[in-house]
Amino acid sequence: MVKSVLVLGAGMIGVSTAIHLRERGLDVVLVDRKAAGQETSYGNAGLIQREATRPYAFPMNARDLVDVALARNNDVHYSIGALPALAGRLSAYARNSLPGPYGRIVPPWRALIETCLTEHTRFIDATNSWDLVTQGGWRSGFRSEGRDFDAAREDAITRVREDGLSVDIEDSRTLASREPALIRAMAGSIWWKDAWAVSNPGELVARYARHFTAIGGAIAFGDAATLDRTASGWSVRTPDGVLNAEATVVALGPWSDDLAKRLGYSFPLFVKRGYHRHYTCTAMPAIPMLDVEHGVMIAPMQAGLRLTTGAEFLPRDDAPSPVQLDVAERGVREIFALGAGVEATPWLGSRPVMPDMLPNIGAAPRDPSLWFHFGHAHQGFTLGPSSGRLLAELMTGETPFVDPTPYAPARWLD
């Protein structure tokens, strides 16, 4: 069994993996250019989404596709020039959203999601972090009756019946009584009660990282791009010298495919970019709310009211273009008492997505000491502890708690 590991990437996925490996007695060094939780894991809506039992599918009805193409909703923003490079991957994503393939994808996705609260609870307990967590769920809020709200009601009823979720369908009066911070009436909402909300996602990851060092792990600042094979395993350079280990885990989120390509592996990863900004607010919502009409998640945070946008299809490293956030801000001002922006400029991050909606969790086919752990799309923050457990079980030869086959990196590399 491997005894020493470099984990590259100190987001929720990497930190959780490092903890699980250290708990199993391995010597583990967590390596990143920044402090833990300062990239993608910092910028999300702070939800641990136990209700997310089905991954986001490609919109399949004509009306939704036309709305996206004509930029008539705020869920998606794209550049025509960016689409040719994405066409093959988006086409594969769309094919996997058809009923047959999607029906095969949901069970392995759900198998990870179903354990997310249990696995997070262990880490939250260990880090005394319940002060950051609210166990109250979140809402999908609708401003008007109509086709979208009707479809959401039907979906909620299906999810209760088939997935065993706890959901309330709230009419206008019920929503107003439960969410007094609203400054205008809405048609109603879907209250997804199984989720938890975190008021400082980056801080939760940082606390998990401090727990990792408290149980004997080490953290080093370094650039994963310096990773090299050695006679005995792997090495990476840091300002304090070269680190060596028998195995390495690539958990670099949207940057993972850069390193994978250099190591001889090509994955069809693409990114959904997203923005957030905090605002002052005289009356915070009780729990996070998705303003469906404006495609924005509204989440109370320690730093203010965080607005997070939907998906932007542009190259990962392109300059920011926060048009979705501008639309979102104008919309949110109509329903909450939104004040001034806290930051001078919005935050921009990228979600790493695979065309089959499942993350890569497992060993590289040609390098048994190289492990891939990325591609969790919108749910890296939710799935870190569960996914990290699975990878640690595979690396240490334990019986995995779920069948690892659907997540195997080899599915892309035959």
Per-residue pLDDT at 414: 63
- Whether the pLDDT of residue 1 is over 80: the answer is no
| Inside any domain, residue 77 | no
pTM, two decimals, is 0.96
Per-residue pLDDT at 257: 97
At 366, which CATH number? 3.50.50.60
Per-residue pLDDT at 92: 96
Per-residue pLDDT at 112: 98
Beta bridge partners of 312: 77, 273
pLDDT tens digits for range 179-221: 999 999 999 999 999 999 999 999 999 999 999 999 999 999 9
Q: What's the domain count of the chain?
A: 1
- 214 Cβ contact partners less than 8 Å away, ≥ 6 residues apart: none
| Inside any domain, residue 403 | yes
- Whether the pLDDT of residue 69 is over 70: the answer is no
Per-residue pLDDT at 73: 84
- Whether the pLDDT of residue 63 is over 80: the answer is no
- What are the CA-CA distances from residue 257 to residues 93, 135, 248, 353 (Å)? 18, 35, 15, 11
Residue 201 exposure: Cα atoms within 13 Å on the Cβ side: 27
| Inside any domain, residue 149 | no
pLDDT tens digits for range 82-106: 889 999 999 999 999 999 999 999 9
Mean pLDDT of the chain: 96
Per-residue pLDDT at 62: 61
Residue 337: pLDDT band (50, 70, 90) is: very high
Task: Return d(Cα 9, Cα 288) in angstroms, integer.
Answer: 28
- Whether the pLDDT of residue 285 is over 80: the answer is yes
Q: Give the domain extent around 113.
A: 1-57+97-131+198-268+355-414
Mean pLDDT, residues 35-44 taken together: 95
| Inside any domain, residue 227 | yes
Share of residues in the chain with pLDDT > 90 (%):
93
| Inside any domain, residue 208 | yes
| Inside any domain, residue 362 | yes
Mean pLDDT, residues 310-321 taken together: 95
Residue 66: pLDDT band (50, 70, 90) is: low
Residue 70: pLDDT band (50, 70, 90) is: low
Mean pLDDT, residues 23-31 taken together: 99
Beta bridge partners of 189: 141, 170
| Inside any domain, residue 212 | yes
pLDDT tens digits for range 252-271: 999 999 999 999 999 999 99
Per-residue pLDDT at 330: 97
| Inside any domain, residue 275 | no
Per-residue pLDDT at 147: 92
